[in-house]
């Protein structure tokens, strides 16, 4: 047979073979962008968040992917370092949206870079999740932005009320916050709630992130002899140092870190002085009451960062699971359609069944409904002392089961 015919014959055979082996579904990937700090002091938060996104994506892909319109999609997390400032946040946003073509941002950590991201996502019709706290980050003007963790608006009130209930005699509180976005956001709300429950705010001070010398400010606070010292948005290692200095200065009282995300840093720098501290944004997935899923996630984050998982990072796992549920409900991978479906679905997040709501507070349902967990340092471990499930979620689940 002539060479030309041989080649033609082989080509025909090859084509038909490939047709026969074509899968019933074609596989495509949906990129989930992450704008997180991966260097500097926030690095551990970022690294843990990335691991949790990857883990959630793994689970989704392993259990058959996201089925929309007869196709199967896999998730892929793409993360870039936003260095906790707006300029880098803009670069990350541009890279994710314009270069990588991502249509979904599974998480943005850090208020300034989150705002930079939002500036682009709302205009480009991209759906964005954020851990940023300020109430101005969401609302009817930002229909594609969803908050993936409890913000001070959800956290602070249950925490402070619990403390006042448990220690009814407290009369005065001194606030100390880091001079950054979280500190500024928490302080405003904390001050209001303390006054509401009848505890007088006798001082509200600020320190620069990066300070390690807390002796002078601790001496100042100790002298005022407040019943409660509230460290608001201070990162746990800073808080531990402050409490240690307070103890050395002779102060004793109720210790609160509202935005306290984890006890490890607190206990390592605070030692004995950390005993009894109440934390508002920490979770203890080592606790006997933790589910298997929570334990597994905690182990994974511990291996990646050296610290236990915290409430900020969990939001990244939840967002991915929420996206799968919303995409399948909307039967679409267009951000606008998914955004409309998101408040209507429930999904299995790290805390169990969760959903999005909060219309009464924010004007549109963009707030994730997860429990507020109050923890306390007791004898070198973190114990859960109170759990407040979202009222709105409870009602919704009840209605669904009727």
Partner 1 sequence: MQTLTQLILTGLQIGALYVIFSLGLTLIFGVMKIVNFAHGQFFTLTALLIAVLYPFFAGQGYSHVMAFSLVIAIGILASLVLGYLLYQFGFRFFQRDLAGSFILSVGFVLLIEGLLLHYFGGAVRAVPHFVEGSITVLNVNVTYQRLVLIFVSLVFTALLYWVLGHTRTGKAMRAVSIDHEAAMIQGIPYKKIALTGFLIATFLGALAGAVMAPLAMVSPTVGADYLVKGFIAVILGGLGSVPGAIVGSLFIGFIESFGGFYFDPSFANIAIFVLVMIALLVRPNGLMGNG
Partner 2 sequence: MDKKTISGSFVALAVAMAVALFLKDGYSANLMAWMAIAALIASGLRFVTLIGELNFAAAAFVGLGAYAAGYSLTILEWPFLVSLLFAGLFSALIGVGFGYVTLKTKGPYFLLIGFAFTEVIRLIYTRINVLGGNSGMIGIFPPDFLMDHFTVFTVGLTGLLIIIMYAIEKSYLGKCFIGIRDNDQVVLSVGINVHMTKVLCLSIGAFVSGIAGGLTAYVNNVISPADFSFLLSTFALAYLKVGGEDHPLGPIAGAILLVFLGSIALRFGGGDHIFYGIAIILTLLVMPKGIFGLWESFKSSRKHVDVVQQSAKGGQA
Residue closer to partner 1, measured from CB, 137 or 257: 257
| Minimum CB distance to partner 2, residue 83 (Å) | 8
| Binds 94: which of partner 1, partner 2, none (CB < 5-8 Å by kind) | partner 2
| Minimum CB distance to partner 2, residue 35 (Å) | 11
Judged by CB under 8 A, does residue 202 bind partner 2?
no
Of the candidate residues 54, 61, 73, 115, the single one contacting partner 2 (CB under 8 A): 115
Residue closer to partner 2, measured from CB, 77 or 323: 77
Alpha carbon separation from 28 to 24, 64, 287 (Å, rounded)? 13, 12, 39
Judged by CB under 8 A, does residue 384 bind partner 2?
no
Residue closer to partner 1, measured from CB, 60 or 283: 283
| Binds 198: which of partner 2, partner 1, none (CB < 5-8 Å by kind) | none
What DSSP state is assigned to residue 25? S
Judged by CB under 8 A, does residue 258 bind partner 2?
no
Q: What is the rounded end-to-end Cα distance, in angstroms, of the chain?
A: 75
Residue closer to partner 1, measured from CB, 275 or 328: 275
Q: Confirm if 246 and 218 have CB atoms less than 8 A apart.
A: yes
Residue closer to partner 1, measured from CB, 67 or 220: 220
380/378 Cα distance (integer angstroms): 6
**Using CB under 8 A, which residues numbered 116 to 155 contact partner 2?**
116, 118-120, 132, 134
Q: Which helix (H) or strand (E) holds 328?
A: helix 311-330
Q: Output the CA angle 169-175-179, nearest 5 degrees.
A: 165
State both tokens at 343: 């408040």
Residue closer to partner 1, measured from CB, 307 or 318: 307
Q: Edge-to-edge strand order for the sheet containing 200-207?
A: 200-207, 172-178, 228-230, 254-257, 278-279, 372-378, 381-388
Residue closer to partner 2, measured from CB, 124 or 203: 124
State both tokens at 258: 């509202």
Q: Confirm if 116 and 97 have CB atoms less than 8 A apart.
A: no
Chain residues binding partner 1 by CB under 8 A are 39-44, 47, 176, 179, 205-208, 210-217, 219-220, 223, 237-238, 240-241, 248-250, 264-265, 268-269, 271, 305-307
Judged by CB under 8 A, does residue 305 bind partner 2?
no
**Using CB under 8 A, which residues numbered 55 to 84 contact partner 2?**
79-81, 83-84
State both tokens at 250: 């002779």
Q: Output the CA angle 104-102-325, nearest 5 degrees.
A: 30
Residue closer to partner 2, measured from CB, 113 or 270: 113
Q: Confirm if 400 and 387 have CB atoms less than 8 A apart.
A: no
| Binds 7: which of partner 2, partner 1, none (CB < 5-8 Å by kind) | none
CA dihedral 305, 310, 313, 317 (to 10 degrees): 110
Judged by CB under 8 A, does residue 185 bind partner 2?
yes
| Binds 364: which of partner 1, partner 2, none (CB < 5-8 Å by kind) | none
74 phi/psi in degrees, rounded to 5:
-105, 150
Binding mask 89-108 for partner 2 (x = CB under 8 A): xxxx-xx--xx---------
Contacts (Cβ under 8 Å, ≥6 apart) of 357: 343, 365, 367, 369, 390, 392, 393, 396
Judged by CB under 8 A, does residue 181 bind partner 2?
yes
Binding site for partner 2 (CB under 8 A): 38-39, 43, 46-47, 79-81, 83-87, 89-92, 94-95, 98-99, 111-113, 115-116, 118-120, 132, 134, 179-181, 183-185, 208
């Amino acid at each position: 047979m002539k060479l030309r015919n041989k080649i033609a014959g082989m080509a025909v055979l090859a084509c038909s073979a490939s047709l026969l082996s074509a899968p019933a579904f074609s596989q495509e990937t949906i990129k989930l962008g992450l704008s997180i700090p991966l260097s500097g002091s926030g690095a551990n938060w970022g690294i843990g968040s990335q691991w949790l996104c990857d883990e959630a994506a793994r689970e989704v892909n392993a259990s058959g992917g996201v089925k929309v319109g007869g196709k199967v999609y896999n998730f892929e997390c793409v993360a870039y370092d936003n260095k906790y400032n707006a300029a880098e946040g803009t670069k990350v946003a541009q890279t994710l949206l314009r270069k990588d073509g991502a249509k979904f941002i599974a998480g943005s950590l850090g208020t300034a870079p989150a705002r930079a991201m939002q500036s682009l996502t709302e205009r480009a019709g991209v759906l964005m999740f954020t851990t940023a706290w300020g109430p101005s980050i969401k609302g009817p003007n930002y229909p594609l932005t969803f908050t993936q963790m409890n913000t001070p608006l959800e956290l602070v009130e249950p925490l402070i009320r619990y403390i006042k209930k448990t220690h009814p005699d407290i009369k005065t509180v001194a606030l100390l916050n880091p001079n950054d976005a979280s500190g500024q956001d928490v302080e405003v709300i904390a001050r209001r709630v303390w006054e509401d429950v009848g505890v007088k705010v006798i001082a509200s001070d600020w320190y620069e992130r990066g300070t390690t010398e807390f002796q002078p400010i601790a001496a100042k606070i100790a002298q005022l002899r407040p019943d409660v010292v509230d460290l608001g948005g201070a990162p746990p290692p800073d808080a531990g140092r402050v409490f240690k200095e307070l103890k050395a200065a002779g102060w004793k009282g109720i210790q609160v870190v509202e935005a306290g995300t984890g006890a490890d840093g607190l206990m390592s720098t605070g030692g004995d002085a950390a005993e009894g501290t109440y934390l508002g944004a920490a979770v203890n997935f080592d606790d006997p009451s933790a589910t298997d899923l929570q334990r597994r996630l905690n182990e994974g984050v511990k291996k990646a960062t050296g610290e236990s998982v915290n409430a900020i990072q969990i939001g990244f796992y939840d967002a991915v699971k929420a996206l799968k549920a919303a995409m399948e409900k909307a039967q679409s991978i267009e951000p606008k359609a998914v955004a409309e479906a998101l408040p209507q679905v429930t999904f299995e997040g790290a805390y169990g069944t969760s959903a999005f709501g909060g219309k009464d507070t924010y004007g549109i349902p963009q707030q994730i409904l997860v429990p507020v967990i109050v923890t306390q340092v007791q004898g070198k471990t973190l114990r859960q002392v109170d759990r407040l499930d979202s009222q709105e979620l409870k009602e919704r689940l009840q209605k669904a089961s009727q």
